[in-house]
Amino acid sequence: MHKWYHIIKSIVTKLLIIFLFLYLFEDALFSGKWKLTYISEGVDELEVKEFNILKSFKSPRTIDNLPNQIDLYEPSMLKSFGNMTIKSIKMRWNTGGVNYSYLISGTNKQGDVESVLIDPAEANEIIEELNNEELQSIQVIANTHHHYDHAGGNLAMIKYLIGLDSTRQLKLIVGSETKDSAISKYSKNVKLEVAKDGDSIAIADSSIDVKFIRTPCHTQDSVCYHVSNKDTKDTAIFTGDTLFTGGCGRFFEGTGQEMDAAINKKLTNFVPRDSLKHVKVFPGHEYTNSNIKFIRKRIYDKPGMNDALDKLERYMEINECSTGIFSLKDEMDYNPFMRIDDPIVRTAVGDKDASWTRAQVMDKLRIMKNSM
Ligand SMILES: [Zn+2]
């Protein structure tokens, strides 16, 4: 007994010393050389991601080097737009999928909270992040498209919510009819609606409006949701895998022409031009760092070439999440997929004399990004 006590004590002490050593000398030891590399499991980008093994143990969060100070997220990932709140919920972070689900909430005249839940891919991770009031408040579940890492948790979420209250009524909004017969078992509680372009729903006594914008390309059933609130001119757009901060989704079921129409017409024409700076982008994944890497390598390769990109890059140097921070106007300033006619973008794809169609430029940009 005594002997074992000493052996265990000695092992624990050694482990603590090793851990302390690694923690203190992390920067020197892991200065870009020792990185853990693995393939993302997400179906959307399938990119090789690099993570500094010990990075997560430290929190080097300072805002000294941000020239134009941008509001940093509260740790809870909550953002307010007047009386509307948006809670960003990380899902599949451990698998490299880096997905987001979102809870959009407002209060009705009786003082009750009502919410829309976007893309509940992993019910367990969502339930963990929401308190009882938030769970009770969910009236609508909306999917940006059918991929499992966005819509795969619908059934589990519905089952859980009906388990809390068997009389509750839910609406499930999807881009295309679900083939999941298991959901039709709950037809007493769940009303299924296929999002029609331009239609909308309202919650919280019509104080919050959710508009459907169909953007076929990544999948043919891709839908973006524009959410506005009467109290404020700031609005939010939930773009799934159609638009990312600094990038766009793969063209799994569409063409460059369709992506051009989706992000450069549908997503920029539904509000007046001067309102685009008020539309904050909430994408389906946190791919910003990888998108910046691509733009720096292949398009705007030096700081000073694109001020908006410089600002985004500085933001990501000290923040892990960019969702809800940048607007559609910001995207038009740094996202090459939204700058198809910029001579620098044209030159980068090999079209120096600007003779290609927009669709050709879009297709080439996507090929370049895929090959990174
Ligand atoms: Zn997808």
How far is Cα of residue 340 from the mean position of the Cα atoms in its chain? 23
Distance 45 CA to ligand 1 centre (A): 8
Which range among 6-20, 32-46, 295-309, 358-372 shows the weakest confidence by mean pLDDT?
32-46
**What's the confidence (pLDDT) of residue 178?**
67
Split at pLDDT 50, 70, 90, the class of 177 is confident
Q: Closest Cα to residue 116, out of 43, 195, 187, 188?
A: 195
Distance 256 CA to ligand 1 centre (A): 16
Q: What pTM value is reported for the model? A: 0.80
User: Domain-by-domain residue ranges, the chain?
Assistant: 2-57, 78-286
The token duo for 322 is 């960019």
Distance 252 CA to ligand 1 centre (A): 8
Q: 362 versus 50: which is more confidently predicted?
A: 362
Distance 43 CA to ligand 1 centre (A): 6
The token duo for 169 is 């009524």
**What's the confidence (pLDDT) of residue 76?**
52
**What's the confidence (pLDDT) of residue 193?**
92
CATH class of 78-286: alpha beta
Angle value at C-alpha 20, between 18 and 23, nearest 5 degrees:
110
User: How does the average pLDDT of the chain come out, rounded?
Assistant: 85
Distance 292 CA to ligand 1 centre (A): 20
What average pLDDT score do residues 144-168 get? 94
Distance 307 CA to ligand 1 centre (A): 30
Distance 297 CA to ligand 1 centre (A): 25
Split at pLDDT 50, 70, 90, the class of 228 is very high
Distance 3 CA to ligand 1 centre (A): 56
Angle value at C-alpha 186, between 180 and 189, nearest 5 degrees:
135
**What's the confidence (pLDDT) of residue 33?**
37
Split at pLDDT 50, 70, 90, the class of 112 is very high
Tens of pLDDT, residue by residue over 311-326, are 999 999 988 899 999 9
What end-to-end distance do the CA atoms of the chain give, in Å?
A: 57
Distance 263 CA to ligand 1 centre (A): 15
pLDDT(34) > 60:
no
Tens of pLDDT, residue by residue over 187-214, are 899 999 999 999 999 999 999 999 999 9
Distance 330 CA to ligand 1 centre (A): 23
**What's the confidence (pLDDT) of residue 184?**
82
Distance 338 CA to ligand 1 centre (A): 19
Distance 159 CA to ligand 1 centre (A): 24
